[in-house]
Amino acid sequence: MSLIESQQQVEADNRFDKGYVGVRDFLFYLLGFSQGAIFAMTLVLTSGNCIKGIMALSGYIPGCFVKEEYNIKPINEVSIFISHGEMDQVLPYEWGRF
């Protein structure tokens, strides 16, 4: 599934959050490790507050790509946990720093 397809699915699933079926607080959380963390962080930035929280382990945000290719949405209501090992040999710690 591509990022755009995933974003569309998140928005479709969050019809609950908009009250279409009478459920107000549908919770949608993402957990990703390595490439999954990259995907989770990118998806939350492009989907915004319809995702309730993410846990990103050993990943990074591909800054230029995300900013140039997608509209960044507000994430002020998203719970975020990010962790990255200092000795990661696949995705260096420096890549994951904000």
Tell me the per-residue pLDDT of 17-48, one tens digit each, with 9 for 90 and over. Answer: 555 444 445 578 899 999 999 999 998 988 88
- Contact status, residue 39 vs residue 51, Cβ threshold 8 Å: no
The confidence score (pLDDT) of residue 90 equals 86
**DSSP string across 37-75:** HHHHHHHHHHHGGGS-EEEEES----HHHHHHHS-----
pTM of the model: 0.70
pLDDT at 93 over 50: yes
Strands of the sheet with 79-83, listed across from one edge: 29-33, 53-57, 79-83
The confidence score (pLDDT) of residue 31 equals 94
Domain boundaries, the chain: 26-93
